[in-house]
């Protein structure tokens, strides 16, 4: 069973995490080398680990792992998205005339964003792009499929403008999970995992104990069993390599991203373009309302202050709205903008601005007279 004791080594987005007693369900108990169905922890660990894992309770009582969240102070991959998002935001602020997006995944985090401009119109359509497991692909084709007849990327064809493209070519293929997992069970850890889950290994291990007891640790019989254990372990290594990949991937699942607040929305790839269009439409509506606020506010008021004002008033009008999907948020925003409450609040902004202006002018005149 999975225990709370973990060892984590983290450096520059690469990590190794070993659980002392994780278990797996194999596809065929008689042929475990064919791979496994899923990783799980025993139900007895539920209370101890419920805040650290996302799981599905199976009919047999096992807790099938869907994602590993980890402890609050563990930074093991997804947190890179938040750093890259911050960089993308700063980059976007530098381009006042062009909306800028930076797409990153838990597997590839560039040292700085090199994509400058991508675009799409608001017409809804599904993304048509095939991502095959364990095979590399060029993420730029996912963003913009160019003139391809077989794929349709997230953005409009030929709308992708890239800088530093020669540098970018070095990341093609990095998205292949097996190529960058960077974790391997050490010999003793791998052997312990195999012995916990493979019946033949358990039998051989018991046989070794018996031979040592009867003939001694260095006997021919004991060494023969050791050789059989080594051969069985080698036969299982390929299948158990998949366990390390699965364990790594459990730390990059969308459930963990949501838990760590690295993402706000989760959607399948086919509908990703529509989600971006909804977000763009929502943010455009917010910008329009902010412009209305700025027309009535003090002339030195910033866009950030206008956005903060809108967010606070919107939450008051429709509590919890900012946690809704974008299209539902926009419907609530439309109701807010059409309400008498909004009109009154805008008039208050103008009145308060005029009061401050009159007060400032009176002080200026008084100072000149004095």
User: Is the residue at 170 inside a domain?
Assistant: no
pLDDT beyond 60 at 288: yes
> Do residues 10 and 36 both lie within one domain?
yes
Give the total number of structural domains in the chain: 4
Is 138 inside any structural domain? yes
Q: Can you tell me the distance from the alpha carbon of 335 to that of 331, in angstroms, rounded to the nearest whole number?
A: 6
Give domain status of residue 175, yes or no. no
Residue 230 covered by a domain: yes
**Highest mean pLDDT: which of 61-75, 114-128, 201-215, 355-369?**
201-215
**Inter-residue contact 143 to 165 (CB < 8 Å):** no
Q: Is residue 105 part of a domain?
A: no
Please report whether residue 327 resides in a domain: yes
Residues 300 and 359 in one domain: yes
Mean pLDDT calculated for residue range 325-335: 95
- In terms of domains, do 20 and 60 share one? yes
Q: In whole angstroms, what is the distance from residue 184 CA to residue 106 CA? A: 19
Q: Are residues 16 and 63 in the same domain?
A: yes
Is it the case that residue 290 has pLDDT exceeding 80?
yes
Look at residues 68, 84, 102 and tell me which one is the last residue of a structural domain: 68
Helix (H, G, I), strand (E, B) or coil at 26: strand
Residue ranges making up the domain that contains 142? 114-160
- In the chain, the N- to C-terminal Cα span, in Å, equals 83
Q: What is the mean pLDDT of residues 53-79?
A: 83
Q: Are residues 365 and 277 both part of a single domain?
A: yes
DSSP annotation of 44 reads G
Report if residue 311 sits inside a domain.
yes
Burial tier of 238 (Cβ tally within 10 Å: 0-12, 13-18, 19+): exposed
Q: State the CB neighbour count (10 A cutoff) for residue 42.
A: 14
Structure confidence at residue 17 as a pLDDT band (50, 70, 90): very low
User: Is residue 118 pLDDT above 70, yes or no?
Assistant: no
Indicate the residue among 33, 50, 68 that finishes a domain: 68
């Amino acid at each position: 069973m999975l225990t709370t004791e973990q060892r984590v080594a983290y450096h520059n987005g690469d990590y190794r995490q070993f659980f002392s007693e994780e278990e797996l369900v194999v596809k065929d108990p008689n042929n475990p080398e064919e791979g496994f169905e899923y990783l799980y922890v025993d139900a007895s660990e539920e209370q101890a680990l419920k805040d650290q894992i996302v799981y599905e309770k199976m009919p047999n009582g096992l807790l099938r792992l869907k994602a590993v969240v980890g402890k609050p102070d563990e930074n093991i991959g997804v947190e890179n998205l938040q750093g890259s998002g911050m960089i993308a935001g700063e980059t976007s602020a530098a381009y006042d005339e062009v909306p800028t997006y930076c797409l990153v995944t838990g597997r590839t985090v560039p040292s700085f964003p090199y994509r400058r401009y991508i675009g799409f119109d608001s017409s809804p359509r599904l993304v048509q792009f095939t991502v095959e497991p364990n095979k590399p692909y060029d993420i730029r084709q996912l963003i913009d499929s160019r003139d391809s007849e077989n794929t349709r990327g997230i953005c409009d064809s030929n709308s992708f403008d890239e800088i530093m493209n020669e540098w970018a070519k070095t990341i093609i293929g990095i998205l292949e999970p097996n190529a960058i997992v960077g974790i391997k069970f050490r010999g003793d850890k791998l052997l312990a995992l195999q012995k916990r889950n493979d019946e033949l290994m358990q039998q051989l291990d018991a046989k070794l104990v018996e031979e040592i007891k009867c003939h001694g640790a260095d006997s021919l019989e004991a060494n023969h069993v050791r050789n059989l254990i080594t051969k069985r372990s080698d036969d299982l290594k390929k299948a158990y390599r998949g366990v390390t990949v699965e364990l790594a991937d459990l730390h990059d699942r969308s459930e963990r991203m949501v838990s760590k607040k690295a993402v706000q929305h989760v959607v399948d790839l086919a509908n990703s373009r529509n989600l971006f269009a909804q977000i763009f439409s929502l943010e455009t509506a917010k910008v329009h309302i902010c412009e209305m606020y700025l027309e009535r506010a003090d002339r030195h008021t910033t866009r950030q202050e206008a956005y903060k004002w809108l967010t606070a008033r919107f939450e008051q009008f429709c509590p919890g709205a900012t946690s809704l999907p974008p299209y539902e948020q926009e419907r609530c925003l439309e109701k807010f903008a059409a309400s008498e409450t909004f009109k009154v609040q805008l008039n208050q902004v103008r009145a308060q601005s005029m009061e401050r202006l009159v007060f400032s002018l009176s002080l200026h005149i008084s100072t000149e007279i004095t």
